[in-house]
Structure 1
Amino acid sequence: MKLSERLAQQNKPFFSFEYFPPKTEQGLVNLYDRIERMSKLGPLFVAVTWGAGGGTALRTLELCGACQSVFGIETVMHLTCTNMDSKMLDAALEGAKTAGVRNILALRGDPPRGEEYWTACDGLTHAADLVQYIRARYGDYFCIGVAGYPEGHIENTDKEEDFRRFVEKVHSGADFVVSQIVYDARTFVEWERKCRAAGVAVPIVPGVLPIQSYQSFRRLVHLTKVNVPEELRSRLELVKANDQAVKDLGVRHASELIEDLNTLGVKGVHLTTLNLEHTVQRVLEHVGLAREKEERVVQPQLAGPVRADVWDDFPNGRWGDARSPAFGTVSAWGAMLKFDTREASRVWGRPRELADISSLFVRYVANEIPSLPWSDEPLLPESQEISAELTRINQLHYWTLASQPALDAVPSTDPTHGWGPRGGYVYQKAFVECFVPAAVFPGFLSRLQSSPQITYYAANQRGDFLTNSSGATALTWGVFPGRSVVQPTLIDKMNFLAWRAEAFAAWREWAEMFSPESPEYLFLCETAAECWLVNVVDNEFKKHGIWEMFQ
């Protein structure tokens, strides 16, 4: 059934879920188990995201087909037109038809990096172009939705012009609207009234994302510039060092938001799950929307050091277990580089030699610049504590992407390093992840191989892979009253190689901010082709010998 018909039939509160395709095969298998359980809660529909340029096309189609045909849930497939030519779009739409999916959320997607040198594929520049393209080829077969931005799109400073474009997009042939996430009910309701006054008559569903962790929330707000009520910010600041309290606050706020929306006449919400389960279930139970209430969700039991039933406790992005459906949320929001070409050149310069890149990383460690091509936020406080060593090794051409100091029984309430419930203690091994140029790598590798306390993973763009590890290594763990030891941060072959693909893709995105004939473009491509991505863990967490490796 077309989603517009289902929405028109709704006379009571409803909800829907959004998932993204996991990065690993085991993550996909475990997401199927999760979706089957969550389907019993009674969502009106589910939506599956689409990677930039069709990067997740096959997995998105597979996941959509399973949701529609196997689990029997009305499914919406996201589809973007950025970097997608007509052949790719036709293949995606035919794949949706084959899978029994009749609902498409038409999006522009993240703009390609280096847009000064980009030409729209087959004239598809905006989401409205994609809506018209689908209508021209498939008529009314597909029910087409579009995205709405209650606070205006981040890339358009003229909010009224942005709103006019949104109205035109709907009138180009859209059947429904899903809004960007909101944290304030009145913000959405006032925008919805403005839409109705402008002649937008199709159903509009607000997006809601329960806060899962302080860091993921900060990153989301940084990327989307979504308005956060001051009361919520204040409440979050009070508990930010307690991960469990942050999750509890996320449940309370999402529940209050849904209840406020319902009071103001908004019947349904679209919940972005980030492929997580427990928080979403708690929210629905709190507001009385869950069809089937379970005392405890039974997770699949996996071999290895981390049980699946702690995946949802303290999600840690790419450092979590690669078998988790939620693994990889660091890139779930799309392309990593958010600067345009001019801004990137201003902040990151125009590198033409290794010393230019080293200088860039040194300036980042010193908080002189706010971001890197691999990180859109400033250096975290815990890494600032080892900034002197990070500065030294970056000057030696070890370009650090991630790091943490060793910890031995730090209280879980510590404002910099603490996490989890109060009354516990946290531990962590020192680690450094960095790019290493080809000329520096052989000596570095020799030192790593001769140090028994060191575990390392190394890979290059060609696909060569080296390691001395035989399994997963826990980087962080916590001991709390009345519960098992929690290990939220891991490094293993699977998650390292999944990140490797993204890390080297960022080199290409950075290079494409310059003309293909420029010295900067050629230098960045050559450097990426020759350097290694290396993750180093010092398993002697009571010592500080990791820095001896970097000479």
Structure 2
Amino acid sequence: MKIKDIFERKKFVFSFEIFPPKPTTPLDRIYSTLDDLKGPSPDFISVTYGAGGSTRDRSPQIAIDVKNVYDIESLAHLTCIGSTRDEVVGVVDLLLESGVHNILALRGDPPQEAVSPFVGGDFSHAIDLVKFLRERYGEKIAIGGAAYPEGHIECDDPIKDLHYLKQKVDAGVDFLVTQLFFDNELFYRFVERTSIAGIEVPISAGIMPVVNKNQIERIVTLCGASLPKKFVRILHRYADDPRSLEEAGIAYATDQIVDLIASGVRGIHLYTMNKAHVARKITSNIETLREGFVNDKNNEEALL
């Protein structure tokens, strides 16, 4: 099933993101994680590429196994920077032949050893990949795109950033998944702006439970996410108490999700960081709310 159809059939879509282990780490580790993530019954699981494509050889196979071994819809990340059209076709054809019909089209990061500005491959931006995929594969695939509630870290003009997003959607994106954020008000303002701009595809909110202090430095460096005062207080209070910080991080993410659901969010995409026990706790915390959406949908269908 294509993910755009899941959004059409369900009032609320709940999904996970995982990443492949490093090339030096046995693949068994990710399958152990998937064993634990199957229980919460996500609507789909996305599989990332590594930074600079460092794990891209493993990503398609894991995405295929999510679909065919675990019987969960799979969203395969596909970064295009430094790639040729033939390389992209090779990956997408393999996915389609294996029953995976969902692609998250991303620019990706240049290789770590690359000089700036990086030049290489047939694609410069995610929109180039979206256009190519839509032209070549039509409706055989569902295409997801990334969105940035606080704006892309490389674009200092929020209006221009929204303009680029609209162009990407118009080029063929079926749904959006946002970058992580810790302040829901930023997300609500972003959704309001997308509506004004005429962006009508479903938007899934990206939530990352922060369970150790090392994550924060990486997050701020990579995506520039702002940290609300409430969040900073939690970090200061539990910085030297890893167990308490994990519990506080789970609680904070749960509160975010409950508020988002109450406000009518179309989907939650949980960045699991391959920590299945964290994802399971959060899923358990919101289980009643998820069941409520299923019952609401069933009641609506009974009236038709």
**TM-score where L is the length of structure 2:** 0.90
3-state secondary structure, aligned to 1:285: helix
How far apart, CA to CA, are the structure 1 residues paired with 2:136 and 2:81? 19
Structure 2 residue aligned with 1:115: 116
Q: Show the 5 A alignment for 1:94-243.
A: 94-112=93-111, 113-116=114-117, 118-122=118-122, 124-243=123-242
Structure 2 residue aligned with 1:426: none
How far apart, CA to CA, are the structure 1 residues paired with 2:289 and 2:240? 30
How far apart, CA to CA, are the structure 1 residues paired with 2:26 and 2:212? 20
Number of aligned positions between the proteins: 289
3-state secondary structure, aligned to 1:258: helix
Structure 2 residue aligned with 1:277: 276
3-state secondary structure, aligned to 2:27: helix
Q: What is the RMSD of the two structures over their aligned residues, measured on CA atoms? A: 1.8
Q: Which protein has greater RCO, CA pairs closer than 8 Å, 6+ apart?
A: 2
Structure 2 residue aligned with 1:34: 33
How far apart, CA to CA, are the structure 1 residues paired with 2:183 and 2:110? 28
Question: CA contact under 8 A between 2:181 and 2:207: conserved in structure 1?
Answer: yes
3-state secondary structure, aligned to 2:179: strand
Structure 1 residue aligned with 2:6: 6
Question: CA contact under 8 A between 2:21 and 2:27: conserved in structure 1?
Answer: yes
Ranges in structure 1 where 5+ consecutive residues have no aligned partner: 293-551
Change (3 A) 1:163 1:126: same
Structure of greater Rg: 1
Which moved further from structure 2: 282-291 or 29-38? 282-291
Deviation at 1:25, TM superposition (A): 6.9
Change (3 A) 1:75 1:146: same
Residue-by-residue CA offset, 1:335-378 (whole Å, 9 max, x unaligned): xxxxxxxxxxxxxxxxxxxxxxxxxxxxxxxxxxxxxxxxxxxx
Structure 1 residue aligned with 2:295: none
Deviation at 1:241, TM superposition (A): 0.7
Deviation at 1:159, TM superposition (A): 1.7
Amino acid at match of 2:191: E
How far apart, CA to CA, are the structure 1 residues paired with 2:239 and 2:218? 14
Structure 2 residue aligned with 1:444: none
Amino-acid identity (%): 34
How far apart, CA to CA, are the structure 2 residues paired with 1:24 and 1:58? 9
Q: Show the 5 A alignment for 1:396-415.
A: none
How far apart, CA to CA, are the structure 2 residues paired with 1:28 and 1:211? 24
How far apart, CA to CA, are the structure 2 residues paired with 1:216 and 1:119? 30
3-state secondary structure, aligned to 1:271: strand
How far apart, CA to CA, are the structure 2 residues paired with 1:239 and 1:227? 19
Amino acid at match of 1:58: D
Question: CA contact under 8 A between 1:64 and 1:99: conserved in structure 2?
Answer: no
Deviation at 1:26, TM superposition (A): 5.6
**TM-score where L is the length of structure 1:** 0.51
Residue-by-residue CA offset, 1:520-551 (whole Å, 9 max, x unaligned): xxxxxxxxxxxxxxxxxxxxxxxxxxxxxxxx
Deviation at 1:24, TM superposition (A): 4.8
3-state secondary structure, aligned to 2:204: strand
Change (3 A) 1:222 1:57: closer
3-state secondary structure, aligned to 1:57: coil
Q: Show the 5 A alignment for 1:411-422.
A: none
Structure 1 residue aligned with 2:50: 51
Residue-by-residue CA offset, 1:463-504 (whole Å, 9 max, x unaligned): xxxxxxxxxxxxxxxxxxxxxxxxxxxxxxxxxxxxxxxxxx
Ranges in structure 2 where 5+ consecutive residues have no aligned partner: 292-304
